[in-house]
Amino acid sequence: MPEKLISASPSAVGQTALPSPAASSWLIRIPEVFAPLAEEIIASLRPMAATRLGNDYVLLKLDGEGDVSQSEAAMFIQWNLPVHHSWPCNPQKMEGFIEKAAQTLLRKFGSLSPQGIFMGQLHPTPPNPYYKSLASNLRGRTLQLFPSMNAKETEDQDGAMDTLFCLIGKEGLFSGLQSPRACNGLYPGGTKYISQDGAETISRAGAKVAEALHYLLMYRPPLAAGSHWVELGASPGGMTSELLARGFRVTAVDRAPLDERLSHYEGLTFAKADVAEFRPKPGTVYDAVLSDLNGSGLESIQHVIRLSKHLKPSGLVIFTLKMPGVETIQETVALFHEVVAKAARAGLSLLARTHLTYNRREFTLFFEKQA
């Protein structure tokens, strides 16, 4: 049985226990690392009802004005979807589930011209082969029924155009139409799975930049091979290796050494230094700055700002916002705003912010240098 966190009651909804006729349903995903804050995050959205689905998901009933992106705590929501159609049922026990579900999706969404249809699992970990194949088979049958669409693969999606996303699990089927940007991810649930355990993996941080580059496809075309990155806090080199493997040039800065397996890359320059002492050669122009420095986010953004003088117009910044000593939602939101304001004053405008699947207790911010 799904766990009801809040049900429509006089105390939850104010004066009336009756759901408003304009109530809307939302599926939100709160990363496991923020589980201790989940109840507070949910309460900040003022739901009329909240039901936990799977480990990370919560189904919310909001009043007609509700919009999950408007809350201050929205930055803790990894991914969201307005639920325009739900079928609460146990698919395993429902005869003809795939055909019935596919026909209903066609009836409800067929005339709304989604750019693509993508389906995922409500319980992605541990992977459940039954629901994995159910999601894949339902997608296959639905694609047969819908008119042809532009986005065959997740990467084909236009970040600003509506996609039909569906999540499926033992609680049923939850579907909605929203753009990947508004959902905050190209995949249903937001996760692109990236192996972190390969023999060549230098550090788990590599998955963060791989995921960040994929996430960015919603906002801008990928940087060309040969683009020059300056990377602050590069040791041992997990992120550096991902950048080099994509054909980028990297100037990596850290006071700690890089993994020796990177030494054969021609595109790599390593400055073993405190970042405060690092001075690019006069005339150097970078295409992008990557910062994964540990320590205070306010200090790290100062380093980024100083080096952004060498960033070309419209150049990209990927910044891990670390939060040592920051515990509460309010402190986190305040830190985020302070960092963004400092960056804006220096000509770096915020493009997006997210909690990537491979982020720990930290966020990833994306800036662009104003032209």
Positions touching ligand SAM (CB under 6 A) are: 203, 205-206, 233-239, 254-256, 274-276, 292-295
SS3 241: helix
Given a contact cutoff of 8 angstroms between Cβ atoms, the answer to whether 251 and 229 are in contact is yes
- Indicate the residue among 82 and 233 with the shorter CB distance to ligand SAM: 233
Q: Which residue is nearest to ligand SAM (CB)?
A: 233
Q: How far is the CB of 234 from ligand SAM (least distance, A)?
A: 5
Taking the chain, what is the end-to-end CA distance rounded to the nearest angstrom? 53
- Indicate the residue among 189 and 206 with the shorter CB distance to ligand SAM: 206
- Indicate the residue among 28 and 293 with the shorter CB distance to ligand SAM: 293
- Indicate the residue among 165 and 278 with the shorter CB distance to ligand SAM: 278
Q: How far is the CB of 197 from ligand SAM (least distance, A)?
A: 15
Q: How far is the CB of 230 from ligand SAM (least distance, A)?
A: 12
- Indicate the residue among 250 and 348 with the shorter CB distance to ligand SAM: 250
In degrees, rounded to 5, the angle at the alpha carbon of residue 149 between the alpha carbons of residues 147 and 152 is 130
For the chain, what's the residue count? Answer: 371
- Indicate the residue among 151 and 275 with the shorter CB distance to ligand SAM: 275
Q: How far is the CB of 132 from ligand SAM (least distance, A)?
A: 30
DSSP state string for 211-246: HHHHHHTTTSPPPPTT-EEEEES-TT-HHHHHHHHT
Cross-strand partners of 316 = 288, 368
Contacts of 136 (CB under 8 A, 6+ apart): 119
Structure tokens at 290: 């990557």
Q: How far is the CB of 298 from ligand SAM (least distance, A)?
A: 13
Q: How far is the CB of 89 from ligand SAM (least distance, A)?
A: 44
Rounded Cα distance between 247 and 265, Å, is 10
Q: What is the DSSP letter of 307?
A: H
- Indicate the residue among 274 and 331 with the shorter CB distance to ligand SAM: 274
Count of CB atoms within 10 A of residue 152's CB?
A: 12
Q: How far is the CB of 202 from ligand SAM (least distance, A)?
A: 6
Rounded Cα distance between 370 and 348, Å, is 6
Rounded Cα distance between 136 and 90, Å, is 17
